[in-house]
Structure 1
Amino acid sequence: MKKVLIISPYFPPSNAADMQRVRMSLPYFKEYGWEPELVVAEEIYSDMIKDSLLLDSIPKDIQVHQVKAFSKKWTSKFGLGSIALRSLFFYRKKVNELLRDKHFDLIYFSTTQFPVCILGPFWKKKFGIPYVIDIQDQWHSEYYQDKPKSERPKKYWFSYRLNKYLEPIAMRNVDGLISVSEAYINTLKTRYPKLVNKPCSTITFGAHQLDFNIAKQNSSLSESVYNRDNGKINLVYIGRGGFDMQQSVSLLLKVFKKGIDQNADGFKNIHFHFIGTSYAPKGSGIPTLMPIAKNLGLTDYVTEYTDRIGYYQSIDHLLHADGLIVLGSNDPDYTASKLYPYILAKKNLLAILHLKSSAAQILEECNAGLLIPLDSDADRAFDALKSYLNKVKLKVTPSTKWQEFEKYRSDYLTKKQVNLFNSIISTN
Structure 2
Amino acid sequence: MSLPYFKEYGWEATVVAVAPQYSEQSKDDLLEKSLPIDVPVHYVKAFDKKITAKLGLGSIAIRSLYYYYKKVNELLSRENFDLIYFSTTQFPVCVLGAVWKKKFAVPYVIDFQDPWFSTYYDDKPKSERPRKHWFSHRLNKYIEPIAVKNADGLISVSAKYIADLKARYPEVINIPTATVIFGASEIDRQIAFENQHRFPQLFDKRFRNLVYVGRGGHDMHKAINLVFEAVKQLFVTYPYYAKILKLHFIGTSYAPKGAGTLTIAPLAKQYGLSETVVEITDRVGYYEALAALDNADALFVPGSDDPAYVASKLLPFLFARKPLLAIFNSNSPAIELLTKFRIKDTYMFDKDKNIEENVKNFLVSMIENANTVPDYPEDVTEAYSAKALTKKQTILFDQVINHKANATS
Q: Is the TM-score greater than 0.5?
A: yes
For structure 1, the residue ranges without an aligned partner over 5 or more in a row are 1-23
Structure 2: tracts of 5 or more residues without a match: 405-409
What amino acid is aligned across from residue 179 of structure 1 in structure 2? S
Q: Deviations over 1:140-160 (max 9, x none)?
A: 101001111111110000001
CA deviation map 1:107-136 (0-9, x unaligned): 111111111111111111111111111111
C-alpha distance in structure 1 between counterparts of 2:86 and 2:253, whole Å:
26
Residue from 15, 20, 32 that aligns with 1:38: 15
Aligned to 2:302: 327
Q: Is the 8 A contact 1:372 1:384 kept in 2?
A: no
Distance verdict in 2 for CA 1:302–1:384, change over 3 Å: closer
The structure-2 alpha-carbon separation of the partners of 1:388 and 1:362, relative to structure 1 and needing over 3 Å to count, comes to: farther
Q: How does 1:203-214 map to 2 (within 5 A)?
A: 203-214=180-191
Question: What one-letter code is carried by the residue in structure 1 that aligns with 2:28?
Answer: D
Q: Which residue is 2:383 aligned to?
A: 407
**2:361 alignment counterpart:** 386
Q: TM-score, normalised by structure 2?
A: 0.95
Q: In structure 2, how many angstroms separate the alpha carbons of the residues matched to 1:211 and 1:283?
A: 27
Amino acid at match of 1:200: T
Q: CA deviation at 1:410?
A: 0.8
**Helix, strand or coil at the partner of 1:223:** coil
Whole-angstrom CA distance in 2 between matches of 1:39 and 1:117: 13
1:92 is displaced (CA, Å) by: 1.0
Cα 1:391–1:233, aligned 2, differ >3 Å: closer, same or farther?
Answer: closer
The amino acid of 2:403's aligned partner reads T
For 2:99 and 2:8, the matched residues in 1 are separated by 30
Greater displacement, 385-394 / 188-197: 385-394
Q: Supply the distance in 2 between the matched residues of 1:128 and 1:403 (Cα, whole angstroms).
A: 40
Deviation at 1:65, TM superposition (A): 0.9
Residue-by-residue CA offset, 1:180-228 (whole Å, 9 max, x unaligned): 1111111111111121111111111111111110011111112112322
SS state of the match for residue 197, structure 1? coil
DSSP 3-state at the match of 1:303: strand
**Alignment correspondent of 1:300:** 275
Q: Which of residues 25, 31, 45 is equivalent to 2:2? A: 25
Distance 1:105 1:359 in 2: 33
The answer to which of 375-384 and 78-87 deviates more is: 375-384
Greater mean deviation of Cα atoms: 179-188 or 356-365: 356-365
Cα distance between partner residues in 2 of 1:348 and 1:369 = 10
TM-score (norm 1): 0.91
Corresponding residue SS for 2:354: helix
Aligned pairs (5 A) from 1:93-242: 93-229=70-206, 232-242=207-217
> What's 1:87 paired with?
64
Q: In 1, are the aligned partners of 2:46 and 2:67 still within 8 Å (CA)?
A: yes
The residue that corresponds to 1:427 in the other structure is: 403
1:355 aligns with 2:327: no
**Distance change >3 Å, CA 369–CA 67, structure 1 → 2:** farther
Q: Is the 8 A contact 2:229 2:356 kept in 1?
A: no
- Offset, 1:265: 9.2
Give the secondary structure class of the aligned counterpart of 1:419: helix
273, 282, 287: which one aligns with 2:248: 273
Shift in Å at residue 353 of structure 1? 1.2
Say which of 266, 270, 295 aligns to 1:291. 266
Q: Does 1:318 align with 2:293?
A: yes
SS in 2 for 1:324: strand
Q: 191-200 or 362-371: which moved more? A: 362-371
Q: Could you list the per-position Cα deviations for residues 328-366 of structure 1 after superposition, in whole angstroms to 9, with x for gaps in the alignment? A: 111111121221111111111111111211222111111
SS class of match (2:315): helix
Query: Is 1:263 aligned to residue 246 of structure 2?
Result: no
- The answer on whether the counterparts of 1:276 and 1:306 sit within 8 Å (CA) in structure 2 is yes
SS at match of 1:25: coil
The number of residues matched between the two structures is 403
Cα displacement (A) at 1:51: 1.0
**What is the correspondence of 1:368-379 to structure 2 with a 5 Å cutoff?**
368=343, 370-375=345-350, 379=354
Please give the alpha-carbon distance, in whole angstroms, between the structure 2 residues aligned to 1:69 and 1:398: 45
The answer as to whether partners of 1:237 and 1:274 remain within 8 angstroms in 2 is yes
Query: Retained in 1: the 8 A contact 2:227–2:359?
Result: no
- Contact in 2 for aligned 1:207/1:410 (Cα 8 Å): yes
Output the amino acid matched with 1:145: D
Counterparts of 2:257 and 2:119, CA distance in 1: 30
Distance 2:7 2:133 in 1: 40
RMSD over aligned Cα atoms: 1.7
Q: One-letter code of the match for 1:127?
A: F
